[in-house]
Amino acid sequence: MMNKEQKKNYISEMTKQFENSKAIMVTHYQGLTMPQLDELRSKMREHGIVFKITKNRITKLALEKTKCKDLSNLFTGPTAVAFGEDAIMSARILSKFAKDNENLKLIGGIMGEEVLDKVAVQNVANLPTLDEARANIIGILNASASKLVSILLARSEKMSSLPTENSEKQPKE
């Protein structure tokens, strides 16, 4: 049990995390073993994401004062929350882990100001990350530039093989 001071600190800490995180994913973890939870936390930590098991009643008190108050109804049963900056990476890691471990259930979240249900979290997990999107755009731009260069080079090669006026007037030996 927590004493009154510990509860205040917990509420304060959770309020800060809900306010400062751009991406929040809520899960149920019943049935996961400690080694599985440690493995998931480790994967999340590699990407700067905090995965925290919550105390529902107190967490709901912390939610009341934040932009995330709409998530309050998700906090029933054994709940854990992922706090991070990148919703796509959070959703992707949790989704992949849930495929391998059926005891982890994605139940919702928030991306920016947008509340996500279970289906929306899965959709977010399938989006390309910012780095992947940048790489795709660069690939498209490079492909277009190289096509343009090859067209221009082909055109100039054709033009250089055409006879010129001077070459026609010169006497043949």
Q: Mapped to the 3 state alphabet, what secondary structure does 74-103 carry?
A: HCCCCEEEEEECCHHHHHHHHHHHHHHCCC
pLDDT, tens only, 117-143: 888 888 888 877 777 778 888 877 777
- The whole-chain average pLDDT of the chain stands at 83
Q: Is residue 27 within 8 Å of 80, Cβ to Cβ? A: yes
Q: What is the pTM of this model?
A: 0.72
Provide the β-strand partners of residue 84.
23
**Which residue has 């260069």 as its token pair?**
149
pLDDT at residue 45 is higher than 60: yes
Distance between CA atoms of residues 75 and 107, nearest Å: 10
How high is the pLDDT of residue 153? 74
Average pLDDT over residues 68-87: 89
Q: Which of 104, 113, 49 is nearest to 77 (CA)?
A: 104
Instruction: Give the helix/strand (H/E) hosting 160.
Output: helix 130-161
pLDDT, tens only, 12-21: 898 898 888 8
pLDDT at residue 65 is higher than 80: no
Q: Give residue 49's identity as a one-letter amino acid code.
A: I
Dihedral angle sign, alpha carbons of residues 26, 108, 30, 1: positive
